Amino acid sequence: MTSTHSLTSALQAHIRQDIVTHGGWIGFDRFMALALYTPGLGYYANDSTKFGAFPASGSDFVTAPEMTPLFGQTLAVQVADALTATGTDEVWEFGAGSGALASQLLGALGERVRRYTIVDVSGSLRARQQLALAGYGDRVRWVDALPEHFDGVVVGNEVLDAMPVQLLVRLKGVWHERGVACDGDAFAWADQPTDLRPPVEIEGQHDYLTEIHPQAKAFIRTLADRLGRGAVFLLDYGFAESEYYHPQRHMGTVMCHQAHQADGDPLVAVGAKDITAHVDFTGIALAAQDDLADGQPGFTVLGYTTQAHFLMNCGLLSKMEQSTDAERALALKLIHEHEMGEFFKVIGLCKGEPWDALGFSHGDRSHRL
């Protein structure tokens, strides 16, 4: 295994050269893409440990499927509902992490799923997933990209937050795009005037840093273009537009995660830590509903709610009643208001005839998007 230091040194040299090639400045979206996805070097492309419950494992963060199998088992109730409603038999998962969610869904859904396809750009994570899912044989397959046309139910847990964002900063009333330049061997923020704007007017004249999400929106439009019959369920942390671009949220949402500690400086330890940004779910919903290039309609929004409401609608509480005290304590983190329950949201989309999706039966917040 290559040492973390040599990986990060090589990655940082690669990014410095890219900055030079682009005239001394690159947008933060490009910097974030290079930091996370440069083949063999980026955070998600190298072989460092990422997912795990404790720092002692060498991991940087834990996601819901690693916390408790009840997460995937409960999500499977909605997936089964969607497979029936759309008349499909294949599940597609983006960014499958350790493979824990795939294992939980396959175990719960059984023969309802003819094939489970994982779309993941990380070679090292793919190897870990293949070990975790070896028992399912050729029912599981891996692809590097979506086909031109497919049917099925798509799931993505904490996928959108890892998609590169552009940074916009208002300084003394003038909007700039915040990018990255070199400062010797280090990286430094550098701002350039821009015509880009947030999707809503930011009240006040105070300095204000925020993000826009063209890559996440492009991803959703690609899904809409290529999915024939099916549905999409995306779970992530974020807000509707009115909360995301609130005047008081003036420091933006970009965060880094390393050894189970969070920090706000993506320009240091590049390649050794995760970089994320919260999701603008209004932007996702609007992009989903855009008409396609051929004039056909895009997605229909099935619902939008908190993770707590979604999981309880899908029967988490009854599953918890049959669990041990230790399992219940972990599952509570999924729905507790001060843990993941309110912070994480779920959006459901469909192609074809919409139906009353179980996960949004109570507490739907679509009207707030």
- The answer to whether residues 294 and 317 touch, using CB atoms and an 8 Å cutoff, is no
- The two three-digit tokens of residue 197, written as one number: 């704007």
User: Residues 301-339: pLDDT tens digits?
Assistant: 999 999 999 999 999 999 999 999 999 999 999 999 888
pTM assigned to the model: 0.95
- The two three-digit tokens of residue 215, written as one number: 């890559």
Q: pLDDT-based confidence at 364, cuts 50/70/90?
A: very high
**At 105, is the secondary structure helix, strand, or coil?**
helix
- Average pLDDT score over residue span 35-40: 93
Q: For residue 62, what is the DSSP state?
A: -
| Residues whose CB is less than 8 angstroms from the CB of residue 201 and which lie 6 or more positions away in sequence, other chains included | none
Predicted pLDDT at 135: 96
pLDDT at 61 over 70: no
Residue-averaged pLDDT of the chain: 94
Pairing of strands 186-193, 174-183: antiparallel
CB atoms within 10 A of CB 14: 17
Q: What is the CATH number of the domain that holds 273?
A: 3.40.50.12710
Which region among 155-164, 279-288, 331-340, 353-362 has the lowest average model confidence (pLDDT)?
Answer: 331-340
Predicted pLDDT at 338: 87
User: Residues 218-267: pLDDT tens digits?
Assistant: 999 999 999 999 999 999 999 999 999 999 999 999 999 997 789 999 99
User: Residues 126-156: pLDDT tens digits?
Assistant: 888 999 999 999 999 999 999 999 999 999 9
pLDDT at 6 over 90: no
CA dist 210 and 202 (Å) reads 10
Q: Which residues on adjacent β-strands are paired with residue 188?
A: 181
User: Residues 63-110: pLDDT tens digits?
Assistant: 999 999 999 999 999 999 999 999 999 999 998 989 999 999 999 999
Measured CA to CA in angstroms, residue 99 lies from 46, 140, 215, 275 at distances of 17, 11, 24, 21
The residue ranking higher by pLDDT, 332 or 121, is 332
| Residues whose CB is less than 8 angstroms from the CB of residue 219 and which lie 6 or more positions away in sequence, other chains included | 160, 163
pLDDT at 56 over 80: no
Predicted pLDDT at 332: 95
Predicted pLDDT at 1: 46
Torsion of Cα atoms, 151 then 238 then 8 then 14, to 10°: 70
- The two three-digit tokens of residue 344, written as one number: 């994480």
Predicted pLDDT at 123: 74
Q: For residue 315, what is the DSSP state?
A: T
pLDDT at 60 over 70: no
> How many domains are there within the chain?
1
Predicted pLDDT at 55: 60
Boundaries of domain holding 149:
4-368
User: Residues 167-213: pLDDT tens digits?
Assistant: 999 999 999 999 999 999 999 999 999 999 999 999 999 999 999 99
CA dist 265 and 212 (Å) reads 18
